[in-house]
C-alpha cells in the first residue's frame, strides 16, 4: 500500500470542524512532534517518530463527565490504517502501556488512538477506583461505568476517524483494535455493540463476564476467611508444583507446561502432610489441610451454599501466589493474613456492597451468594460484554481473533471457551469471521512458560486485507535463564496442540493440531 502524507498542517484549526453527536468539545490541541524518541516500559525505545498529537477533552452535556482522547497521526509514514489501543484492569488507556502501543503503531504507519473514558486514574497498577466509583455511599456512578464499558469506545473511534479525515483528506481505509485483558473486553464490546466501527479486532485474554469473574475470583479469599486460616504461599506453591509434576509429562514432554488441562486429574488432597520447601524459616514444614482446601477453591471455582458451581476455576499450572495470585497471603513473623486480589476486592466493595468500609473478611456464604447475584443482575447489561450474537459484526465484514493462555492467573480460559461456544451456537459460520486460539502455559496476556502470539495482530491484518484466515498462531515464550525460547503452534479451537513424539520441542514443526 502506498504511503500517504497529510494534506493539512498539524494545527488545532485543522480539526476545529470535528463534532460528535451527544458530546460537547471542551478543548482541542494539535501538536507536531518531529524526530521524537519515546520510551515506555515493556517496549523498545522508539526513535525518529514524526507525528501530529491531537489531544481532545470533551463532555456529554448533562452528565458532568470529562473525557480525554489522544490520536497520533503519522506525518511521513501513514499507511491508511487506524489502530485503537486497549487498556488494562480498570484503566481504559492513556497510560504508559497504551502509549507504548501507540508509539509502536505510529512507527508502523498507523494512526493510533487511546482514551481514558473520563476516569481520573489510568494507572493499571492503581486498582482502586475510589475517585469515581461512588457518587456517595450506596450510589454507584453508573454513567462513569458505562463510559468505561462502552460509550467512550464509540466516541473515541468516531473522533479518531474524523481527525484522520481532517488531516489526510480521507478516512482510514482499514480500522483495527488491539487489546488484551480490559483491552480484550473492549474489543469484544466493540464487536458486540458497535459492529461497524472496526474491520479487525484482536481481543486477547478478554475480561468478559466481568460481573461473574470479579466475584468468582474472590472465592479463594472467601474460603480462607471461612477457615480463618491463611496458608503460606510456599504451601500453595508446593501443591501447584505437585500437580505439574503429576500432569506435565502427559503430553510426552517434561517442560513445566500442562498442555491439556482437561487431562490433568491430580487430587491435591493426596499431598496433605507432604514436605514444603519454605524460604521463610518461620514457614510450615508440611502441607496443611487448609492449604489444600484453598487450592481446591482456586481450581474448582466458586460455589454457592448448595455446593453448585457459580464460576470457573483456574487451570492447575496457573500461578496462584504473588501479587496477582488468587490465593495470595501476606506473611510476617510466622503469621499469614488475607491479601485479596485487588481487582476483585474493589468490585465487591465499591460496586456490589457500594461501601468501601464494608468488612469482607466477615462475609457469610449467603452474603457471598447475594453479592454474586447482585453483580449479575445489576451489571451484565452495562459491563458483562458477553452477548454471543456476533452476526451484526459478521454482516459488517469484520474479522476478530482471540487468544487466551491456559495458565492465565486471573481470567479462567474456560469462560472464553464458554463464550465462543455460545457464539457458535448462535451462528455455526463463526469461524468465517471469529477465531479462537488457546496457548498452553501462557499466563495473563504474557508471562508463564508458554508462548504469546506476538504476530497475531499482523495475522489479523492479513485476514482482513487478503482474506487469508489463520488456522495456527505461533506462540513464543519469554527467554529462560539461559536465553532459550519455545516456539509452538497455537491451534484453532477446538483443536489442541499435540507433540508428534520426536523432534526439537522448542520449534513448532515438532507439533501438530488435532
Give the model confidence (pLDDT) of 391-435 as tens digits.
999 999 999 999 999 999 999 999 999 999 999 999 999 999 999
Asked whether residue 331 carries a pLDDT value surpassing 80, the answer given is yes
Decide if pLDDT at 3 tops 90: no
Q: Does some domain include residue 3?
A: no
Q: Which residue spans within 60-198 are E strands per DSSP?
A: 67-74, 81-85, 110-115, 134-136, 139-140, 174-180
- Same domain? For 361 and 404 the reply is no
174 shares a domain with 244: no
Say if CB 82 and CB 174 are below 8 A apart: yes
User: What CATH number is associated with residue 105?
Assistant: 3.40.50.1820
What does DSSP assign to residue 147? I
For residue 177, is pLDDT > 60? yes
- Catalytic-residue membership of 404: no
Residue 451, all three cell numbers: 508462548
408 counts as catalytic: yes
Grid cell locating 479: 527467554
- 223 shares a domain with 170: no
Q: Are residues 204 and 279 in the same domain?
A: no
Q: Which segment of 114-128, 131-145, 177-191, 385-399 scores lowest on mean pLDDT? A: 114-128
Rounded Cα–Cα distance for residues 462 and 330 (Å) = 47
pLDDT at residue 323 in the model: 80
Lowest mean pLDDT among 132-146, 274-288, 333-347: 274-288
Q: Tell me the CB-side half-sphere exposure of residue 166, using CA atoms within 13 A.
A: 22
Q: Are 163 and 52 spatial neighbours (Cβ–Cβ below 8 Å)?
A: no
Rounded to whole angstroms, how far apart are CA atoms 514 and 435? Answer: 16
Joined together, the cell numbers standing for residue 442 give 501462557
Same domain for 187 and 62 = yes
> What percentage of the chain has pLDDT greater than the value 90?
90
Q: Number of structural domains, the chain?
A: 2
Q: Report DSSP letters for 244-266, one per residue.
A: HHHHGGGGS--SS--S-GGG---
Q: Using 50, 70 and 90 to split pLDDT, how confident is the model at 339?
A: very high
Pairing label, strands 24-38, 110-115: unpaired
Q: How far apart, in Å, are the Cα atoms of 448 and each of 70, 328, 346?
A: 33, 17, 26
Query: How far is residue 454's CA from residue 465's CA, in Å, rounded to a whole number?
Result: 19
**446 has pLDDT over 70:** yes
pLDDT at 124 over 70: no
Q: Rounded to 5 degrees, what angle do the CA atoms 90, 185, 404 make?
A: 110
3-state secondary structure of 471: coil
Residues 370 and 399 in one domain: no
Cα(61)–Cα(56) distance, rounded to whole angstroms?
16
Q: Give the Cα separation of 446 and 416 in Å (integer).
A: 17
Q: How many angstroms separate the CA atoms of 232 and 280, rounded? A: 9
Could you tell me which residues are beta bridge partners of residue 136? 139
Q: Are 202 and 208 in contact (CB under 8 A)?
A: no
The active-site residue out of 114, 209, 408, 439 is 408
Average of per-residue pLDDT across 139-153: 97
Residue 65, pLDDT above cutoff 60: yes
Q: pTM above the 0.85 mark?
A: yes
pLDDT of 1: 41
Sorting pLDDT into bands at 50, 70 and 90, what band is 125? low
Q: Are residues 239 and 376 in the same domain?
A: yes
Average pLDDT over residues 48-76: 97
- Asked whether residue 21 is domain-assigned, the answer is yes
2 pLDDT tier (thresholds 50, 70, 90): very low
The answer for residues whose C-beta is within 8 angstroms of residue 170's C-beta and 6 or more apart is 164
234 and 245 assigned to the same domain: yes
Tell me: do 43 and 178 sit in the same domain.
yes
- Is residue 265 annotated as a catalytic residue, yes or no? no
User: In the prediction, which pLDDT does 334 show?
Assistant: 83
Mean pLDDT, residues 372-376 taken together:
98
More reliable by pLDDT, 143 or 125: 143
Q: Are 405 and 443 spatial neighbours (Cβ–Cβ below 8 Å)?
A: yes
Q: What is the mean pLDDT of residues 185-213?
A: 98
What residues does 179 pair with on adjacent strands? 203
pLDDT tens track for 4-53: 789 999 999 999 999 999 999 999 999 999 999 999 888 889 999 999 99
**Binning pLDDT at 50, 70 and 90, where does residue 480 land?**
confident
Q: Last residue of a domain, which of 417, 436, 455?
A: 436
Alpha-carbon gap, residue 379 to 211, rounded angstroms: 6
DSSP string, 374-427: HHHHHHIIIII------HHHHHTT-EEEEEEETT-SSS-HHHHHHHHHHHHHH-
User: Within 10 Å of residue 109's Cβ, how many Cβ atoms?
Assistant: 17
Range of the domain at 407: 12-209+384-436
340-370 per-position pLDDT tens digit: 999 999 999 999 999 999 999 999 999 999 9
pLDDT bin (cut points 50, 70, 90) of residue 333 is confident
Per the structure block, which three cell numbers stand in for 5? 502524507
Residue finishing a domain among 381, 411, 445: 381
What is the mean predicted confidence (pLDDT) over 294-314?
A: 98
Average pLDDT over residues 167-188: 97
Alpha-carbon distance of 469 to 132, in angstroms, equals: 42
Q: Residues 342, 127: contact at Cβ < 8 Å?
A: yes
Is 4 within 8 Å of 80 (Cβ atoms)?
A: yes
Q: Are 385 and 423 in contact (CB under 8 A)?
A: no
Q: Is residue 18 part of a domain?
A: yes
Considering 392, 419, 436, which residue would you say is the last residue of a domain? 436
Kindly name the residue from 166, 181, 205, 339 that is annotated as catalytic.
Answer: 181
pLDDT for 54: 98
- Mapped onto helix, strand or coil, the DSSP state of residue 12 is helix
Spatial separation of the C-alpha atoms in residues 224 and 488, rounded to whole Å: 38
Whether 453 is in a domain gets the answer no
The reply to whether 4 falls in a domain is no
SS3 for 178? strand
pLDDT value at 385 more than 60: yes
Q: Is 53 within 8 Å of 15 (Cβ atoms)?
A: no
Strands 46-59 and 24-38: antiparallel
Q: Which of 95-104, 390-399, 418-427, 492-501 has the weakest average pLDDT?
A: 95-104
Amino acid at each position: 500500500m502506498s504511503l500517504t502524507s497529510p494534506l493539512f498542517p498539524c494545527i488545532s484549526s485543522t480539526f476545529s470542524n470535528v463534532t460528535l453527536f451527544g458530546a460537547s468539545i471542551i478543548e482541542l490541541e494539535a501538536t507536531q512532534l518531529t524526530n521524537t524518541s519515546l520510551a515506555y516500559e515493556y517496549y523498545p525505545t522508539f526513535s525518529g517518530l514524526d507525528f501530529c498529537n491531537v489531544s481532545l477533552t470533551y463532555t456529554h452535556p448533562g452528565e458532568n463527565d470529562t473525557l480525554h482522547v489522544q490520536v497520533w497521526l503519522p506525518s511521513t509514514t501513514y499507511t491508511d490504517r487506524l489502530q485503537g489501543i486497549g487498556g488494562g484492569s480498570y484503566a481504559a488507556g492513556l497510560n504508559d502501556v497504551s502509549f507504548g502501543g501507540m508509539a509502536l503503531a505510529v512507527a508502523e504507519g498507523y494512526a493510533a488512538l487511546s482514551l481514558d473514558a473520563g476516569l481520573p486514574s489510568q494507572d493499571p497498577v492503581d486498582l482502586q477506583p475510589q475517585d469515581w466509583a461512588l457518587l456517595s455511599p450506596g450510589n454507584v456512578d453508573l454513567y462513569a461505568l458505562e463510559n468505561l464499558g462502552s460509550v467512550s469506545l464509540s466516541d473515541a473511534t468516531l473522533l479518531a476517524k474524523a481527525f484522520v479525515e481532517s488531516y489526510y483528506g480521507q478516512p482510514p481505509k482499514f480500522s483495527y483494535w488491539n487489546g488484551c485483558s480490559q483491552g480484550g473486553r473492549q474489543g469484544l464490546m466493540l464487536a458486540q455493540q458497535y459492529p461497524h466501527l472496526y474491520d479487525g479486532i484482536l481481543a486477547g485474554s478478554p475480561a468478559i463476564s466481568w460481573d461473574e469473574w470479579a466475584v468468582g475470583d474472590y472465592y479463594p479469599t472467601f474460603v480462607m476467611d471461612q477457615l480463618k486460616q491463611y496458608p503460606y504461599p510456599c504451601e500453595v506453591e508446593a501443591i501447584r508444583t505437585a500437580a505439574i509434576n503429576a500432569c506435565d509429562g502427559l503430553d510426552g514432554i517434561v517442560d513445566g507446561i500442562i498442555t491439556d488441562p482437561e487431562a490433568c486429574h491430580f487430587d491435591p488432597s493426596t499431598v496433605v502432610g507432604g514436605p514444603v520447601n519454605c524460604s521463610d524459616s518461620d514457614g510450615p514444614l508440611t502441607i496443611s489441610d487448609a492449604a489444600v482446601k484453598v487450592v481446591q477453591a482456586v481450581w474448582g471455582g466458586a460455589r454457592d451454599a448448595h455446593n453448585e458451581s457459580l464460576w470457573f476455576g483456574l487451570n492447575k499450572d496457573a500461578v496462584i501466589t504473588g501479587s496477582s495470585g488468587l490465593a495470595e497471603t501476606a506473611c510476617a513473623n510466622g503469621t499469614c493474613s488475607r491479601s485479596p486480589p485487588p481487582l476483585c476486592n474493589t468490585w465487591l466493595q465499591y460496586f456490589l456492597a457500594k461501601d468501601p468500609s464494608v468488612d469482607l473478611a466477615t462475609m457469610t456464604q449467603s452474603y457471598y451468594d447475594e453479592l454474586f447475584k447482585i453483580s449479575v443482575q445489576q451489571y451484565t447489561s452495562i459491563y458483562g460484554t458477553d452477548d454471543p450474537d456476533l452476526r451484526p459484526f459478521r454482516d459488517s465484514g469484520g474479522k476478530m481473533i482471540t487468544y487466551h493462555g491456559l495458565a492465565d492467573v486471573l481470567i479462567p480460559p474456560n469462560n472464553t471457551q464458554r463464550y465462543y461456544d455460545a457464539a457458535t451456537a448462535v451462528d455455526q459460520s463463526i469461524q468465517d469471521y471469529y477465531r479462537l486460539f488457546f496457548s498452553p502455559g501462557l499466563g495473563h496476556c504474557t508471562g508463564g512458560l508458554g508462548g504469546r502470539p506476538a504476530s497475531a495482530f499482523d495475522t489479523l491484518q492479513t485476514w482482513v486485507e487478503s482474506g487469508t484466515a489463520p488456522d495456527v498462531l505461533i506462540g513464543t515464550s519469554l527467554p529462560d535463564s539461559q536465553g532459550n525460547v519455545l516456539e509452538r503452534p497455537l491451534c484453532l479451537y477446538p483443536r489442541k496442540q499435540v507433540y508428534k513424539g520426536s523432534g526439537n520441542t522448542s520449534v513448532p514443526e515438532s507439533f501438530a493440531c488435532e
